């Protein structure tokens, strides 16, 4: 009998159906908590700043510290899961998540809170890609995995709006509770994880660690994310931003050289020969730009121009994640029948349509009708697209590389989200001093989201394979899949 700690067989081959769906609920809960924690901090930043006497720069770093470590360590976190065991890394990430939640809530000053938020990014970089990797190795490619991914995508949308709905209420009790709310959920996850999750790693992977590859890729990602973070303040063409982007590019080039020469590379470069992995992740970047960019723009427009309270805004926004959940459920059926490309294309058309409606109607009116008309297609498109892009990015990936592929997919969404926020904030700021109309900058930012959708549509149509080509590729034996 094979040792479960080093099993090379996919987990879904042995795991009972009831147990794997319970495991899916656990994995989706982890994804929900990562998103909830990241978003709720944004809502509670004003009372945190007041209580800890944070300067505007320090307050921004409460968010940026988490973004840097989360985005920078995703590839490493996913690869560690492949090497050391997916359940083991997931539990390690959950333990760290629990500890930093307590530390954040007890933080007496800005320095401790920022350090805790940086460590939270580390915990999220271990939990999120590992959870997605366990999902992909628990559910067989095709209809079962697509259905699981639809729940994963739908829960993500619910996590974002839940942060909007409960963030203000928890912060009014005491800002510490936005962190303490994580504690009981993390404890429950730690108790049931060993019962529901099967340990898995590939015995065929040499447990040799590519230190040089890890350092260059992680540092390159951190610099890239940092460039995106500072660009709205420093300017996209400033020496600081351009220098960070250039340094990131040099490190990624060095990373490629190291991986070519490594006997046990962190990222086997032949993984990029899978068209759906590359196309799915690039499409996910644009979807992340749309999801985060649109959300930040409509949030600021609703609260600054329309004067809505955070709770009023959250209630008005609730239709979008509800439609995303529906879109994700419907999307998995169409992905199974039609393939990734047409579903992702429809998604981007719907996201672009929702953005266009807001660009044309964000004139300062208190009417909810136009906003509702924008949020419905945008929400459906978001659910469709996340399911299709994730399914594409994970298709045809060897069992031994599922953690790495999951890390790429999560990193694509996070980097895209950071880039989308940076672009729309830059657009809004650029209109503020020159244009008298208070809505011009927001309309331009929504128009930028339309451009994101067009770019994503071009990527989807040119880089994703059709269903026939995908099925043929998956049916053909390849060296990467022979050991399954």
- DSSP label of 55: -
Same domain, 146 and 288: no
Same domain, 175 and 221: no
Give the pLDDT confidence score for residue 365 in this predicted structure: 74
Same domain, 261 and 272: no
Q: Distance between CA 51 and CA 18 in Å, rounded?
A: 47
Angle at 306 between CA 305 and CA 307, to 5 degrees: 95
The range of the structural domain enclosing residue 215 comes to 211-265
Phi-psi region of 11 (alpha: psi -120 to 50; beta: other; left: phi over 0): alpha
Same domain, 219 and 328: no
How many domains does one find in the chain?
3
Is residue 62 included in any domain, yes or no?
A: yes
Give the pLDDT confidence score for residue 261 in this predicted structure: 84
Q: Distance between CA 151 and CA 145 in Å, rounded?
A: 10
Q: Can you give the pLDDT of all 484 residues of the chain as single tens digits?
A: 333 333 444 444 445 567 888 888 899 889 888 888 877 887 777 788 888 888 766 777 887 788 778 877 877 787 788 788 889 999 999 999 999 999 999 999 989 999 999 999 899 989 988 888 888 888 877 778 888 887 777 777 677 667 766 776 777 788 898 899 899 999 999 999 998 888 776 555 555 667 788 788 888 888 887 888 788 778 888 999 999 999 999 999 998 898 888 777 777 777 777 778 888 888 889 998 898 889 888 888 887 788 877 677 777 877 888 888 888 888 878 888 888 889 889 999 999 999 999 999 988 876 777 888 999 999 899 888 888 888 887 777 776 677 777 777 777 887 788 788 888 888 888 876 555 677 888 999 999 999 999 999 999 998 877 655 555 444 443 333 222 2
Q: Which of 422, 209, 388 is nearest to 296 (CA)?
A: 422
Instruction: Count the alpha carbons within 13 Å of 437 in the hemisphere toward its beta carbon.
Output: 9
Q: Which of 278, 11, 272, 283 is nearest to 148 (CA)?
A: 11
Give the pLDDT confidence score for residue 160 in this predicted structure: 66
Q: Which helix (H) or strand (E) holds 165?
A: helix 143-173
Is residue 205 included in any domain, yes or no?
A: no
Q: Give the Å distances, CA to CA, from 477 to 469, 470, 483.
A: 14, 13, 10
Give the pLDDT confidence score for residue 466 in this predicted structure: 61
Same domain, 233 and 294: no
Q: Which of 450, 454, 455 is nearest to 427 (CA)?
A: 450
In 301-383, which ranges are E strands?
A: none
- DSSP label of 318: T
Scored b (16 or more CB within 10 A) or e, 171-181 reads beeebbbbbbb
Spell out the residues 6+ positions from residue 13 whose beta carbon is closer than 8 angstroms to its own. Answer: none
The answer to whether the pTM exceeds 0.85 is no
Q: Distance between CA 272 and CA 384 in Å, rounded?
A: 24
Give the pLDDT confidence score for residue 345 in this predicted structure: 92
Q: Distance between CA 141 and CA 158 in Å, rounded?
A: 25
Contact 456, 348 (CB under 8 A): yes
Q: Give the Å distances, CA to CA, from 205 to 19, 78, 91, 399.
A: 27, 14, 21, 11
Q: Which helix (H) or strand (E) holds 81?
A: helix 56-84
Is residue 223 included in any domain, yes or no?
A: yes
Give the pLDDT confidence score for residue 186 in this predicted structure: 94
Q: Distance between CA 394 and CA 408 in Å, rounded?
A: 10
Spell out the residues 6+ positions from residue 64 whose beta carbon is closer than 8 angstroms to its own. Answer: 226, 229
Contact 86, 403 (CB under 8 A): yes
Q: Distance between CA 331 and CA 385 in Å, rounded?
A: 8
CB atoms within 10 A of CB 40: 26
Same domain, 34 and 178: yes
Of 151, 175, 198, the last residue of a domain is 198
Q: Distance between CA 15 and CA 321 in Å, rounded?
A: 31
Which SS3 state, helix, strand or coil, does residue 108 take? coil
Instruction: Count the alpha carbons within 13 Å of 345 in the hemisphere toward its beta carbon.
Output: 14
Same domain, 356 and 330: yes
Same domain, 364 and 318: yes
Spell out the residues 6+ positions from residue 48 whose beta carbon is closer than 8 angstroms to its own. Answer: 41, 54, 59, 62, 113, 171, 175
Same domain, 241 and 220: yes
Is residue 206 included in any domain, yes or no?
A: no
Give the pLDDT confidence score for residue 476 in this predicted structure: 41
- Report the Cα 339 to chain-centroid distance in Å: 22
Q: What is the CATH number of the domain that holds 162?
A: 1.20.1250.20
C-alpha R_g of the chain: 21
Same domain, 101 and 177: yes
Is residue 4 included in any domain, yes or no?
A: no
Same domain, 230 and 343: no
Of 198, 229, 249, the last residue of a domain is 198
Q: Distance between CA 285 and CA 456 in Å, rounded?
A: 8
Q: Which of 95, 96, 98 is nearest to 183 (CA)?
A: 98
Token pair belonging to 156? 């993500």
Same domain, 284 and 356: yes
Contact 358, 371 (CB under 8 A): yes
């Amino acid at each position: 009998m094979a040792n479960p700690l080093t099993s090379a067989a996919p987990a879904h081959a042995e795991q009972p159906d009831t147990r794997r769906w319970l495991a899916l609920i656990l994995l989706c809960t982890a994804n929900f908590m990562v998103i909830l924690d990241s978003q709720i901090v944004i809502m509670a930043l004003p009372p945190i700043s007041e209580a800890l006497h944070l300067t505007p720069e320090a307050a921004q770093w409460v968010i940026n510290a988490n973004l840097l470590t989360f985005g920078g360590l995703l590839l490493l976190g996913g690869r560690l899961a492949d090497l050391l065991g997916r359940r083991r890394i997931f539990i390690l990430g959950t333990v760290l998540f629990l500890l930093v939640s307590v530390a954040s809530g007890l933080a007496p000053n800005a320095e401790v809170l920022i350090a805790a938020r940086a460590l939270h990014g580390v915990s999220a970089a271990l939990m999120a890609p590992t959870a997605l990797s366990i999902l992909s190795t628990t559910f067989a490619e095709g209809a079962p995995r697509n259905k699981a991914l639809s729940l994963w995508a739908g829960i993500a949308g619910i996590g974002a709006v839940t942060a909007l709905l409960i963030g203000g209420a928890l912060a009014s009790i005491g800002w510490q509770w936005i962190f303490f709310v994580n504690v009981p959920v993390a404890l429950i996850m730690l108790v049931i994880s060993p019962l529901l999750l099967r340990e898995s790693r590939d015995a065929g992977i040499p447990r040799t660690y590519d230190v040089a590859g890890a350092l260059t890729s992680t540092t390159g990602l951190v610099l890239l994310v940092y460039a995106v973070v500072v660009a709205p303040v420093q300017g996209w063409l400033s020496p600081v931003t351009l220098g960070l982007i250039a340094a990131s590019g040099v490190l990624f080039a060095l990373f490629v050289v190291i991986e070519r020469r490594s006997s046990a590379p962190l990222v086997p470069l032949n993984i990029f020969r899978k068209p759906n992995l590359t196309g799915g992740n690039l499409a996910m970047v644009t979807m992340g730009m749309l999801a985060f960019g649109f959300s930040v723009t409509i949030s600021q427009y609703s609260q600054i121009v329309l004067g809505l309270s955070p709770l009023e805004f959250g209630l008005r926004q609730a239709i979008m994640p509800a439609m995303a959940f529906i879109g994700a459920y419907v999307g998995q059926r169409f992905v199974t029948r039609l393939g990734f490309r047409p579903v992702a294309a429809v998604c981007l058309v719907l996201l672009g349509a929702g953005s266009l409606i807001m660009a044309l109607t964000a004139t300062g009116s208190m009417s909810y009708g136009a906003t509702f008309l924008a949020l419905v297609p945008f929400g459906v498109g978001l659910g469709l697209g996340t399911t299709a892009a994730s399914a594409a990015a994970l298709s045809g990936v060897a069992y031994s590389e599922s953690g790495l592929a999951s890390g790429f997919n999560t990193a694509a969404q996070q980097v895209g989200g950071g880039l989308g926020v940076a672009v729309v904030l830059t657009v809004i700021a650029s209109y503020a001093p020159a244009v008298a109309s208070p809505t011009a900058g927001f309309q331009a930012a929504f128009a930028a989201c339309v451009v994101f959708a067009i770019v994503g549509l071009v990527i989807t149509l040119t880089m994703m394979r059709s269903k026939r080509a995908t099925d043929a590729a998956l049916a053909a034996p390849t060296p990467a899949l022979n050991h399954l």
